[in-house]
């Protein structure tokens, strides 16, 4: 069922004559006009202006609208960082019973997220020799690591905030459906696609009214990207009482036009052509959203990280600067090994150069651990204390450590793809912030609501090729009088799925003064706020030529006006 925003108002307020068959009529579908045949048609200009009319659409009504239309109404780019931080914190705070229920790979991944110098397990890694060296000089291995990274022994190797940022940029930010959103087709965006703010997820009206029911499909595997949402349930953004209210000021009645194939009178929804002026943005309550959940959350969220099928060694050279020569830098940004490299590099970006010497009880220096401002680590021992690993970047050392620990429990290479599930995670964006951002975005791009607004009146009937508009006396003098507007794609009715009922197949849209259609007389000048339609001002005696979407070419003669709000046309088929 479609919502009839203004029709109910018309039925209750208009005189019976204004709501007659002439107001929103069903085309009669006469016979096709034969070559050389002429017919006359009478068009009436209908107008009923409503000002500041507020209509509330319930959740049920919104859900009944075609899904494609709801998907085209972009509301905002949702900042995914709070959700990611909350998800990682929830993973960190999992109860023991829930931790045991995780897969071995997920448990290993969780330990990596929580790894600190104090709890790092160095056995089997390139840093294992630090255990022996530390024992020889009488200090814990944790102190050597903490000193090297300029942090406390219980501080994480990689802070949760850094993990979140890299996940946003490398995994979410590279997903095709998080990079672009649909919008208005214009010269700068001929494909109708607009960039999404980095680290954000585009939010549409469809997402709101369905509580992200297709989240796992939308952000799952696509175009070679593995996706980042495996399963999502109970995404709670709106309550059952959710409602969207907007105030409109517009001519609520449709325009009357002509289908030249059979010279039948058709109706063209007028709302879309008024979209630039339909809302009074100076009114703070021009749009209101009620029934948003106070603390939006996800009841169940499962997200994944995939590893490369091979062990990726750390680099052994400072060149090429500033990252080194590990093949991990050539991996897709969403793979585990590349994530570790980026996370470690980001986590030490602000760590100052450090160099610490450790002495034996005799006062003789036995071990030196240094990291310069580029992240290059040099571990040296003296007097035969031990054999530390050769110099490397800190991220190369931690890459090998992370890969070994990810495969604890006997997991082989390629067997440690991670699926981590958490419950009751807060989205992290308060509803008031969402509402203000929605209003700001719609105000900046009211075109996003064109089809949505047109649906609310649902008054398009037939297949008009052009329609009649009378420039009322209150308009500037150059916009008054009688006009013919050629239809655009936005004037074509849509079906219950939100798809156009016919293709926009016009090869020569507009009005011409010659049968060959070489001398166009129409243009996109502004008339009553419209600047998207080809239009021409007419007077009795004018002759024009047009071609419809089936290639039917006709001659239009403007006849004497029957009355002020009527227009008479004689139409002859040319071939």
Q: What is the pLDDT of residue 53?
A: 80
Give me the pLDDT at residue 9, please. Answer: 35
Given a cut of 60, whether residue 17 has pLDDT beyond it is no
Predicted pLDDT at 14: 36
Q: What is the pLDDT of residue 134?
A: 85
Indicate the pLDDT class of residue 278, thresholds 50, 70 and 90. confident
Going by C-alpha positions, the residue among 431, 392, 445 that lies closest to residue 194 is 445
pTM score above 0.75: no
Contacts of 349 (CB under 8 A, 6+ apart): none
Task: Please say whether the dihedral angle defined by the alpha carbons of residues 554, 558, 561 and 566, taken in this order, is positive or negative.
Answer: positive
What is the mean pLDDT of the segment spanning 124-134?
88
Q: Is the pLDDT of residue 1 over 60?
A: no
Q: For residue 454, is pLDDT > 70?
A: no
**DSSP, res 440:** H
Please state the rounded mean pLDDT for residues 56-69. Answer: 82
For 209, list phi and psi in degrees, rounded to 5: -75, -15
pLDDT band at 549 (very low <50, low <70, confident <90, very high): very high
Residues 25-47 pLDDT 10s: 455 567 899 999 999 999 999 88
Crossing angle of the two packed helices 104-113 and 81-92, in degrees rounded to 10: 110
Top-confidence residue, 354 or 77: 354
Tell me what the mean pLDDT of segment 149-178 comes to.
93
Pair of tokens at residue 248 = 């409109």
More confident of the two residues 387 and 168: 168
Query: How many residues appear in the chain?
Result: 575
Choice between 341 and 85, residue whose per-residue pLDDT is larger: 341
pLDDT reported for residue 272: 66
- 8 A C-beta contact, residue 132 and residue 387: no
Residue-level pLDDT at 557: 97
Q: Which has the higher per-residue pLDDT, 15 or 567?
A: 567
The residue that leads in pLDDT, 563 or 15, is 563
pLDDT exceeds 90 at position 225: yes
Helix (H, G, I), strand (E, B) or coil at 398: helix
**Dihedral, CA of residue 270, residue 276, residue 279 and residue 283, to nearest 10:** -160
pLDDT of 19 reads 38
Which residues touch 408 (CB under 8 Å, ≥6 apart)? 104, 108
Residue 52 has pLDDT above 90, yes or no: no
Q: With bands split at pLDDT 50, 70 and 90, how would you rate the model's confidence at 136? A: confident
> Average pLDDT for residues 558-568, to the nearest whole number?
94
Structure tokens at 26: 């069903």
What's the confidence (pLDDT) of residue 469? 94
CB-based contact 75:203 (threshold 8 Å):
yes
Count of CB atoms within 10 A of residue 202's CB?
23
Distance of alpha carbon 462 from alpha carbon 492, whole angstroms: 9
Residue from 49, 42, 21, 48 nearest 468 by CA: 42
Q: How confident is the model at residue 20 (pLDDT cuts 50, 70, 90)?
A: very low
pLDDT band for position 451 (50/70/90)? Answer: low
- Of the CA atoms within 13 Å of residue 4, those in its CB half-sphere come to 11
Q: What are phi and psi of 432, to 5 degrees?
A: -60, -40
Considering only residues 330 and 229, tell me which one the structure prediction assigns the higher pLDDT: 330
C-alpha radius of gyration, the chain, whole number: 34
pLDDT of residue 341: 98
For residue 516, the model assigns a pLDDT of 96
DSSP label at residue 494: B
The reported pLDDT for the residue numbered 483 is 97
Q: What is the mean pLDDT of residues 490-499?
A: 78
User: pLDDT tens across 327-377, in order?
Assistant: 999 999 999 999 999 999 999 999 999 999 988 877 788 899 999 999 999
pLDDT for 15 equals: 35
- The pLDDT mean for the chain works out to 86
Q: What number is the average pLDDT over the span 461-474?
A: 91
pLDDT class of 258 with cuts at 50, 70, 90 = very high
Q: What is the pLDDT of residue 457?
A: 59
């Amino acid at each position: 069922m479609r919502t009839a925003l203004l029709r109910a108002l018309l039925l209750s307020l208009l005189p019976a004559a204004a709501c007659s068959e002439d107001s929103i009529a069903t085309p009669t579908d006469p016979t096709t006009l034969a070559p050389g045949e002429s017919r006359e048609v009478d068009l009436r200009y209908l107008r009923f202006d409503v000002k500041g009319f507020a209509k509330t659409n319930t959740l049920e009504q919104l859900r009944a609208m075609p899904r494609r239309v709801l998907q085209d109404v972009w509301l905002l780019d949702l900042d995914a960082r709070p959700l990611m931080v909350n998800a990682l914190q929830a993973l960190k705070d999992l109860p023991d019973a829930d931790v045991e229920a995780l897969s071995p790979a997920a448990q290993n991944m969780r330990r990596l997220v929580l790894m600190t110098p104090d709890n790092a397990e160095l056995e089997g890694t390139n840093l294992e020799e630090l255990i022996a060296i530390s024992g020889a000089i009488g200090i814990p291995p944790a102190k050597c690591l903490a000193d090297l990274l300029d942090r406390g022994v219980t501080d994480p190797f990689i802070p949760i905030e850094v993990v979140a940022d890299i996940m946003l940029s490398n995994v979410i930010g590279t997903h095709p459906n998080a990079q672009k959103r649909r919008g208005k087709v214009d010269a700068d965006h001929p494909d109708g696609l607009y960039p999404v703010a980095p680290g954000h997820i585009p939010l549409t009206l469809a997402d709101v009214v369905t509580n992200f029911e297709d989240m796992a499909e939308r952000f799952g595997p696509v175009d070679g990207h593995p996706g980042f949402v495996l399963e999502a349930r109970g995404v709670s953004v709106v309550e059952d009482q959710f409602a969207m209210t907007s105030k409109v000021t517009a001519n609520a009645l449709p325009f009357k036009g002509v289908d030249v194939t059979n010279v039948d009178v058709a109706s063209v929804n007028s709302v879309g052509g008024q979209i630039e002026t339909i809302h009074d943005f100076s009114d703070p309550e021009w749009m209101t959203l009620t029934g948003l959940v106070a603390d939006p959350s996800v009841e169940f969220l499962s997200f994944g990280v995939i590893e490369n099928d091979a062990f990726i060694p750390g680099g052994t050279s400072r060149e090429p600067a500033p990252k080194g020569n590990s093949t991990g830098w050539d991996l897709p940004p969403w793979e585990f090994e590349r994530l570790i490299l980026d996370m470690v590099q980001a986590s030490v970006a602000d760590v100052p150069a450090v160099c610490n010497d450790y002495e034996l009880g005799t006062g003789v220096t036995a071990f030196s651990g240094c990291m310069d401002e580029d992240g290059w680590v040099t571990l040296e021992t003296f007097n035969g204390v031990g054999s530390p690993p050769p110099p490397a970047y800190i991220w190369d050392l931690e890459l090998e450590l992370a890969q070994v620990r990810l495969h604890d429990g006997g997991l082989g290479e390629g067997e440690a793809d991670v699926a981590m599930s958490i419950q009751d995670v807060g989205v992290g964006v308060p509803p008031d912030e969402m509402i203000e951002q929605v209003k700001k975005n719609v105000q900046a791009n009211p075109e996003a609501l064109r089809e949505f607004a047109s649906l609310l009146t649902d008054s398009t009937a037939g297949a008009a090729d052009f329609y009649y508009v009378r420039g009322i006396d209150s308009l500037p003098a150059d916009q008054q009088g009688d006009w013919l507007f050629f239809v655009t794609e936005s004037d074509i009715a849509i079906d219950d799925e939100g798809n156009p009922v016919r293709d926009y197949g016009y090869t020569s849209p507009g009005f011409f003064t010659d049968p060959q259609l070489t001398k166009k007389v129409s243009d996109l000048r502004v008339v009553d706020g419209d600047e998207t339609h080809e239009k021409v001002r007419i007077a009795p005696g004018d002759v024009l030529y047009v071609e419809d979407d089936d290639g039917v070419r006709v001659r239009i003669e403007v006849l004497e006006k029957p009355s002020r709000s009527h227009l008479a046309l004689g139409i002859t088929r040319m071939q």
